[in-house]
Amino acid sequence: MAKKTSEEDDNKIEPFYHESENFRSAYFGEVPEQLIGTPQPGEDKKLFSTFLGLLQGNTTPEVRREMLEILRKNNAQQLIIDLLENPAYSKYKKELLVVAWESGLAFHAHLLNIVKHALEGDYACTLEGLTVIEQIEEITDINQLDLSLDLLKAQPKSEKSPLIDLMQHHLQRIKFNLSTPNG
């Protein structure tokens, strides 16, 4: 059932699904008043797969820009992270990391998640994760920064090592800036 969310719930964007006779909708963020109290049909995996398919390039550049703008306007970082964390979407890991950086959204609060997913994937995934990390300019959670650096340092040598080294360098620069006055 749809319900109003508290401010705490607003930090995690969980879509509300609505079906009618002629269409299906997924609402992110605030649910329209007329739908509050209506039952939900459940997570629509086909909807997300279609959305991701369109973002992969199965559409025009204009539609892609509009879709990325929808994500931006709704501050959909948590949605992207939730999809990355969901095993049902693991085959879209690289595309989700591309969406993360192309959206222009700030992922500093999800640094450790981004690092983990970049490392779990192939070379292309690691490259896309590096791009997301390079967009991060400041970190507020020092513990997350330290855990991310530890994870990167623990990686064995591989074809991805140059990318991992670049991630480390970028995060070490951020850490250095945090530790210096007027950093």
Q: Retrieve residue 145's tokens.
A: 């920064």
What pLDDT score does 29 carry? Answer: 59
Nearest of 72, 156, 146, 75 to residue 115 by alpha carbon:
146
Note whether 94 and 128 are within 8 A (CB): yes
Instruction: Grade residue 7 by pLDDT with cuts at 50, 70 and 90.
Output: very low
Can you list the pairs that 32-35 forms with residues at least 24 positions away whose Cβ atoms lie under 8 Å?
35/2
Residue-wise pLDDT for 74-129, tens only, equals 898 998 999 899 888 888 899 999 999 999 999 999 999 999 999 998 999 999 99
Least confident range from 26-40, 58-72, 162-176: namely 26-40
What pLDDT score does 9 carry? Answer: 47
Torsion-angle region of 46 (φ positive above 0: left; ψ -120 to 50: alpha; else: beta): alpha
Question: How many helices and strands (H and E) does the chain possess?
Answer: 9, 2
Residue-wise pLDDT for 129-165, tens only, equals 999 999 999 898 999 999 999 999 999 999 999 999 9
How would you classify the pairing of strands 24-27 and 16-19? antiparallel
Q: What letter represents residue 149's amino acid?
A: L
**What's the CA gap between 23 and 127, in Å, rounded?**
38
Return the higher-pLDDT residue of 11 and 28: 28
**What's the CA gap between 23 and 181, in Å, rounded?**
56
